[in-house]
């Protein structure tokens, strides 16, 4: 039926190129080729608007509110949800050829190609089409969302006559309140909103138009403006008109064979909850005029330079399968697109690539995306954490509602208020607070930015530390317990002493102790005193970590390892994955079945709390239980598999994480990309095979290579300079380009470690040997082996 | 401000009499004086319709459906709710005196009295009123819902002129789609439905009219008809008219001082999902004509005779506080009203006295109401269990949805489908299946009705036994475990090995074994074989019962006793009861705080699984944790307190259970009565002080008396005859009126027991001494001592 993946997306280390157009996969490809800068996100809808899988243009944190319904109400249930809105669509340029609309569902598509070069940040499209009446035309369009100019989307649209003269009409539009397809009943898909935007004002003149709208309930205002530059072979007639929900710039002309008409379109976006309509209108007009003056070539050049600087401190090169090479770069690119210019706004789970999860940000940001960004794009990581700090008051309010001290950050949100409508997998997932604290502490360790520490890290750490102390209690066994929480594994909920939560809370508390002492004045401003610091240290020291003596493994939570085993064979036989769509929580919760890395996640991020023997045994115990019904699992399994010496398995998990969306492994890439899993591809390489650990003052590397690879090289930003790690078949070379010395703990085999000092011009080379596995390679649940490159080949 | 309870409801052993009218308490009194027969329920709205607290007329199982909303959907969540509807109101008779409507909010109320004699089953009302223009009038009205005629509501309305001649107009009505007040945000209050009834047909002729309606969504049809008999001193003009939503019979006349006009009104109700409109119309007309022919006096006489027969096998007499005497009879009366003619329909938690809980039936029926009915009104108990058996297919479907075998009965329902919108306190409360099984087994032991066993008990026991075997599992400790369930205490949920659930499941399994062997043919028809019976017996024998060795007490569920203690002092200080309205489940679930008797309930119903020492220690351990935020708690605490020798405490809990609604202790009597708590008053006396246990082949009594009481006498129906138990200060006398011998195990003190045979004409008298308590009297949570008669006196 459909062509193979390899035929559809021919392998290339830097370029995602799609050959042909599969109408059934339109929505997925709109997500894959989506462009964004963290402020604006545009799905790769075809220029002509129709057909589309799911039209989408998003502005970070521009949302509508809705009442959250409950069949049975309860104290403290969030009452208001926030849902990302599809805003005014500025991407549309329709083409009529001899009065026939170019619509790829009709006529004959001679060729179609889309190209996203990750170094250019421009989406190109090449089309040759024959209309139903037999007229041929060529299109070459380019689109970018500017990383240098936060408010600008730019399009260059070129149409060419081939063998006959053509009459053409181009219609460049702004369209608000586009009809959208009804979302599926899948709880993971976003809720739909119809006619969510009310017109405030609209205007047009010359080649420019703008529309200003507001939401009905959340009270946000959005302005969109478009302007045009025309380069035509023949005389053109133009017209501009505006209506409340749409504006249109029309160009009518003719083309002789071989002639082209080129239209450059700039679209500027702005939104605000507080600024007035005239201010907003002026803001987008200013952006437009500045872009107009710069012109396409300059803007494209800015884009390339911006990305060049980014990649110089972020790229990962592998001497291995080109498919993995491209997938990891694709992931890094999208993580950066989701965050580069977010500037005190959230990084949603789907970035700005689709409406999935209502556009909410989760723990994905801090646990999967920020480890990448802190190490490669620290300004973006810092801004994401500043967003969290900006929402501290909402988190303090939430803690008070929950009758706790400190701050309780929302499980899912856009603007800071809890939007989770199912508390056992929302409110109870208290670990998000420790995840945020860990990201803040880690960011400070990488950047040593005192201002960040004072204004962001200290408040976040102090208020989350308070949360743990007030939620936990001293048990009769003398340990400090955190009961009734939900860990990362959403197939158990409201359980006691989740190891991941407890160990992350422990880190949260000890980091709070450290920073409150280092920035004593800032801590005191938050009413921290010595007694409180003592209490944090004491709770951390006595944190409970459940352990099964008989099995000699850690328990994911208290009692986990003596629960009933899930019937994985039945689930394989009846094709029941993902289980959440085929079994009730009532059955899932009390059984040994794990949705996603949980104890395994603790083995990675809290690795210093486990010795190598337990890592090996724990990893082997949980592997047969993890069904990976979440995209936030494979990367962690790759990392711990590598640490335990199961390198083939690690390579498979790396492939699954990095190829999550390219291969649509969760079957919902249409709703947007899994940014955390994509960032997880980088993590699997850098923390997995690179063996990087960055949870303390000390950067650690324990280099290895996947079987069959001959090299792995990656760049990191440490303070103001870059650190390069170049792993060869037997040795690793560390180098830097800055003035400072970077101390690195190099682990060359299972017993040897050495502190090496990396200086500019004095590269350090050291040997490494692979980890010796202490257990046989663990198996996975029936029907759930990792996706691997060999699967991919089999599919092709 | 308001008069004392004792002034408002003067004490009387048989009569609930209300003096005066407190407009603020209108809704509560409408519940207290509600009449019903299990098929029809009418709230005690004033005859004239206005003012009312909450107008209500209900037909058992006449409901509307609605989609159940979820902020986040999940597999197996019930999608459709069922809500009891306020049907066509036939109670209304309006009076105009010299053109002024009698409305108690205006003019002057000289006197107002409502009287419910529990032996008559007639609600009387005496009113003397002076209109705003100074005209005085007397009303004497009577109302009954016939226990003998299932479809009939009858009203006798008499108006009398006092000192001046009067022009009067009487308007007797049927009104559909009455406007109702919006329900509160309290999750326990019912959802409102507006204009739920669509007119199908309406008609009137002579003194009769009828309206037929159907629901918009559930597809049920209801017919209501009224007819009249007029006895007037002066000539009357009459008129009848009908409209889609109302019909009116008008009488216009005059009265000289001392003269009366009497209007008797009969209302007949019928509903069906399947019968046609003409059939329904004929059905209600037939009921009406038959009532018309019988006349008021006959119908009233039937009512009195019906109740006399009922009380002869159900009454409880005490030589103690008259307030308790009345309250217990009031409770028995309402439990009987809720069930007498339900006939294969449910017994809702509120009976048919109000819209609370959407009119749903819960486990209340089997665990609190049926113990009373099986022993005093076996036909009603049998019918309630036949209703459960009728819904077996829906329960089998539900089990399949939950991927379990057998049947999973709904936590809340009207027609059999699960309507709970919060699964941790609905679906997970699997114990309802064992509760139903226990009621069925118990009913068979009392009645020895083989037909009931074959058609009801065996199917219920077999399918619920299957459920337990498929949900539970064999743990590594060799025990059989039931994980992830919710017990009666809704302040913990989705926990493991809830003792109550496990021991009830054990009884379910052993009863299934017994009955499947006794009725082997019927069991085989359900595909039961020897292997399956063996498996039931084996699971029962190995059922886990968590126990804390250090504290020497049983754990409510695995790990319960090592959890953090709730801060009861804080809750008292901040007036936080009921906690569910002031704290999140997130905080409640993992702590030691108990909403209602749970382990204590096991001590009662599964008492043979505990020795006396553990009963005493367990009771003492849990008493300080039970906040009684549910009305289903005090009666059980009374029973176990009595068994443990804490007789003062038992008497207090008895008072709380019996006075639950009379004193509006849960603050929501407006939404309907707590039928289970009212039945619990009987349980507290009979199982508490009478020491009756009826969980096996053997009836047991361990008689005691509350301090200060001199006697307690009660009647029970055993098979076809009555057993009377007459407890005096030192001895108990057993007697019976039938031919059969009733064996009774009499426990005279903590060590002595004797099997005595009770025969007609040969009363048996035996001594008793009070239980010697093994612990000091336990205390309750701060701020939550039991309501007691001395509290009541203090309030007065």
Cα Dmax for chain A: 88
The pLDDT averaged over each successive group of 10 residues in chain B (796 residues) is 81 97 95 98 97 97 95 95 97 96 96 98 98 96 98 98 96 95 50 81 97 96 98 94 98 96 98 94 96 98 98 98 97 98 97 97 98 98 98 98 98 98 97 98 96 98 98 96 98 98 98 98 98 98 98 97 97 96 97 98 97 97 98 97 98 96 94 98 98 90 97 96 97 95 93 93 96 97 89 59
Q: From the CA of B400, how many Å to the nearest CA of chain A? A: 11
Q: From the CA of B562, how many Å to the nearest CA of chain A? A: 7
A188 confidence band (pLDDT: 50, 70, 90): very low
Question: Treating both helix axes as pointing N-terminal to C-terminal, what angle do A392-401 and A378-390 enclose, rounded to 10 degrees?
Answer: 40
CA angle A593, A599, A601 (to 5 degrees): 115
**Count of CA atoms in the C-beta half-sphere (13 A) of A293:** 7
CA angle B382, B386, B388 (to 5 degrees): 120
Nearest to B381 by CA among B397, B390, B369, B389: B369
The alpha carbon dihedral of A365, A369, A372, A373 has a sign of negative
Position B186 scores a pLDDT of 41
Spatial neighbors of A736 by CB under 8 A, at least 6 apart, are A718, A721, A722, A723, A724, A742, A758, A759, A760
- Strands A93-97 vs A100-101: parallel, antiparallel or unpaired: antiparallel
Q: Is the pTM of this model over 0.80?
A: yes
Note whether A584 contacts B72, CB cutoff 8 Å.
no
CA distance A468 to A435: 13
C-beta of residue A113 within 8 angstroms of C-beta of residue A96: no
Distance of CA B633 to the CA centre of its chain: 14
For B71, which of A69, A581, A591 is closest by C-beta distance? Answer: A69
A534 in active site: no
For B71, which of A422, A424, A580 is closest by C-beta distance? Answer: A422
SS3 state at B476:
coil
For B585, which of A71, A74, A481 is closest by C-beta distance? Answer: A74
- Among B124, B178, B418, B490, the active-site one is B490
CA distance B581 to B667: 13
pLDDT digits (tens, 9 = 90+) for A696-721: 778 999 999 999 999 999 999 998 89
C-beta of residue B231 within 8 angstroms of C-beta of residue B265: no
Question: Treating both helix axes as pointing N-terminal to C-terminal, what angle do B675-683 and B322-337 enclose, rounded to 10 degrees?
Answer: 130
Nearest to A678 by CA among A448, A389, A368, A227: A368
Nearest to B23 by CA among B50, B63, B60, B48: B50
SS3 state at A533:
helix
Nearest to B300 by CA among B42, B39, B34, B122: B122
Distances (CA, A) of A418 to A399, A402, A413: 11, 12, 6
Q: Return residues 474-493 of A near B (CB < 8 Å).
A: 475-477, 481, 483-484, 493
C-beta of residue A242 within 8 angstroms of C-beta of residue A175: no
SS3 state at A218:
coil
Query: Beta partners for A108?
Result: A130
Position B182 scores a pLDDT of 67
Closest chain A residue to B590, measured at CA:
A484
Position B2 scores a pLDDT of 55
Q: Which residues of B touch A78 (CB under 8 A)?
A: 71
C-beta of residue B42 within 8 angstroms of C-beta of residue B56: yes
DSSP state of A738: S
Distance of CA A60 to the CA centre of its chain: 13
Q: Is the N-terminal amide bond of A600 cis, ω within 30° of 0?
A: no
Residue B441 is encoded by which pair of tokens?
Answer: 């087994």
Q: Which residues of B touch A402 (CB under 8 A)?
A: 584, 586-587
Q: Return residues 49-88 of A near B (CB < 8 Å).
A: 68-76, 78, 81
Residue B721 is encoded by which pair of tokens?
Answer: 């005859």
Say if B421 is an interface residue toward chain A (CB within 8 Å). Answer: yes
Nearest to B254 by CA among B239, B235, B230, B228: B235
Position A795 scores a pLDDT of 52
C-beta of residue B36 within 8 angstroms of C-beta of residue B338: yes
Position B351 scores a pLDDT of 98
Q: From the CA of A634, how many Å to the nearest CA of chain B? A: 24
Nearest to A157 by CA among A239, A243, A251: A251
C-beta of residue A773 within 8 angstroms of C-beta of residue A645: yes
CA distance A43 to A123: 11
Q: Which residues of B touch A562 (CB under 8 A)?
A: 475-477
Report the length, in residues, of chain B: 796
C-beta of residue A75 within 8 angstroms of C-beta of residue B581: yes
CA distance B212 to B174: 11
Q: How far apart are the first and last CA of chain B?
A: 12
Position A697 scores a pLDDT of 76
Q: From the CA of B351, how many Å to the nearest CA of chain A? A: 21
The alpha carbon dihedral of A531, A533, A536, A540 has a sign of negative
- Among A30, A142, A490, A643, the active-site one is A490
CA distance B555 to A559: 15
Note whether A589 contacts B473, CB cutoff 8 Å.
no
Mean pLDDT of A402-416: 98
pLDDT digits (tens, 9 = 90+) for A37-78: 999 999 999 999 999 999 999 999 999 999 999 999 999 999
Position A251 scores a pLDDT of 98
Query: Beta partners for A260?
Result: A160
Mean pLDDT of A197-215: 97
Spatial neighbors of B203 by CB under 8 A, at least 6 apart, are B209, B210, B242, B281
CA distance A188 to B639: 49
Q: Return residues 554-613 of A near B (CB < 8 Å).
A: 558-559, 562-564, 580-587, 589-591
Position B697 scores a pLDDT of 76
Position A569 scores a pLDDT of 97
Residue B727 is encoded by which pair of tokens?
Answer: 């407890």
Q: From the CA of A590, how many Å to the nearest CA of chain B? A: 5
CA distance B332 to B651: 18
Q: Which residues of A touch B427 (CB under 8 A)?
A: 584, 586
Say if B293 is an interface residue toward chain A (CB within 8 Å). Answer: no
């Amino acid at each position: 039926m459909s062509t193979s993946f390899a035929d559809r997306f021919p392998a290339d280390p830097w370029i995602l190129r799609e050959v042909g157009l599969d109408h059934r996969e339109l929505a997925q490809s709109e997500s894959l080729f989506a462009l964004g800068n963290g402020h604006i996100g545009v799905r790769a809808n075809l220029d002509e608007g129709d057909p589309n899988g799911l039209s989408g243009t998003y502005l970070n944190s521009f949302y509508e509110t809705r009442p959250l319904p409950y069949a049975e109400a309860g104290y403290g249930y969030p009452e208001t949800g926030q849902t990302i809105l599809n805003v005014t669509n500025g991407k549309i340029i329709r083409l009529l050829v001899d009065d026939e609309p170019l619509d790829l569902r009709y006529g004959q598509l001679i060729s179609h190609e889309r190209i996203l070069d990750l170094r250019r940040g421009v989406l190109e499209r090449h089309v040759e089409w024959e209309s139903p009446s037999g007229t041929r035309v060529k299109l070459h369009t380019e689109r970018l969302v500017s990383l240098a100019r936060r408010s600008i989307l730019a399009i260059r649209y070129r149409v060419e006559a081939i063998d006959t003269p053509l009459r053409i009409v181009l219609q460049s539009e702004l369209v608000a309140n586009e009809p959208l397809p009804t979302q599926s009943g899948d709880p993971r898909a976003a809720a739909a909103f119809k006619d969510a935007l009310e017109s405030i004002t609209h205007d047009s003149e010359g080649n420019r138009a703008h529309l200003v709208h507001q939401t009905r309930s959340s009270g946000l205002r959005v302005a969109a403006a478009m302007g045009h530059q025309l380069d035509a072979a023949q005389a053109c007639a133009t017209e501009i008109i505006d209506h409340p929900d749409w504006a249109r710039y029309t160009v009518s002309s003719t083309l002789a064979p071989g002639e082209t008409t080129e239209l450059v379109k700039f679209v500027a976006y702005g939104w605000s909850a507080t600024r007035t309509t005239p201010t907003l209108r002026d803001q987008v007009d200013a952006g437009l005029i500045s872009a107009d003056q710069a012109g396409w070539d300059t803007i494209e050049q800015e884009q390339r330079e911006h990305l060049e600087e980014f990649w110089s401190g972020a790229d990962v090169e592998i001497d291995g399968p080109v498919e993995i090479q491209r997938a990891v770069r694709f992931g890094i690119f999208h993580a950066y697109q989701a965050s580069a210019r977010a500037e005190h706004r959230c990084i949603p789970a789907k970035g700005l690539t689709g409406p999935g999860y209502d556009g909410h940000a989760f723990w994905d940001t801090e646990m999967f995306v920020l480890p990448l960004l802190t190490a490669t794009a620290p300004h973006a990581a810092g801004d994401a954490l500043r967003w969290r700090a900006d929402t501290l008051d909402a988190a303090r309010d939430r803690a008070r509602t929950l009758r706790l001290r400190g701050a309780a950050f929302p499980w899912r949100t856009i603007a800071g208020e809890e939007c989770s409508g199912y508390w056992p997998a929302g409110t109870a997932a208290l670990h998000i607070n420790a995840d945020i604290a860990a990201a803040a502490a880690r960011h400070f360790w990488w950047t040593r930015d005192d201002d960040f520490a004072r204004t962001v890290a200290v408040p976040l750490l102090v208020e989350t530390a308070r949360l743990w102390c007030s939620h936990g209690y001293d048990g009769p066994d003398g340990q400090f317990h955190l009961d009734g929480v939900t860990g990362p594994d959403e197939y158990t909920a409201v359980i006691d002493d989740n190891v991941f939560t407890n160990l992350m809370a422990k880190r949260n508390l000890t980091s709070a102790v450290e920073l409150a002492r280092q920035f004593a004045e800032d801590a005191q401003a938050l009413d921290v005193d010595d007694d409180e610091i003592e209490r944090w240290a004491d709770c951390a020291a006595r944190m409970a970590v459940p352990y099964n003596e008989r099995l000699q493994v850690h328990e994911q939570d208290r009692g986990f390892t003596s629960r009933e085993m899930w019937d994985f064979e039945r689930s394989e036989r009846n094709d029941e994955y993902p289980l959440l769509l085929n079994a009730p929580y009532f059955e899932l919760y009390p059984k040994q079945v794990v949705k996603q890395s949980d104890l395994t996640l603790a083995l990675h991020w809290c690795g210093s709390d486990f010795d190598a023997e337990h890592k090996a045994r724990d990893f082997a115990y949980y592997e047969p239980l993890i069904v990976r019904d979440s995209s936030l699992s494979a990367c962690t399994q790759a990392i711990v598999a590598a640490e335990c010496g199961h390198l083939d398995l690690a390579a498979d998990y790396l492939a699954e994480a990095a190829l999550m969306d390219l291969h649509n492994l969760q079957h919902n890439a249409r709703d947007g990309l899994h940014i955390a899993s994509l960032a997880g591809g980088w993590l699997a390489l850098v923390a997995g095979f690179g063996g990087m650990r960055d949870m303390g003052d000390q950067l650690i590397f324990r280099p290895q290579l996947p079987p069959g690879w001959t090299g792995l090289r990656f760049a990191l930003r440490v303070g103001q300079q870059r650190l390069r790690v170049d792993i060869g078949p037997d040795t690793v070379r560390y180098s830097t380009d800055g003035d400072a010395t970077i101390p690195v703990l190099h682990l060359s085999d299972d017993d040897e470690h050495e502190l090496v000092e990396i200086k500019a011009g004095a590269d350090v080379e050291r040997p490494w040997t692979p980890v010796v596995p202490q257990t046989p390679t663990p198996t996975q649940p029936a029907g759930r082996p990792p996706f691997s490159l060999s699967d991919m080949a089999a599919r092709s």
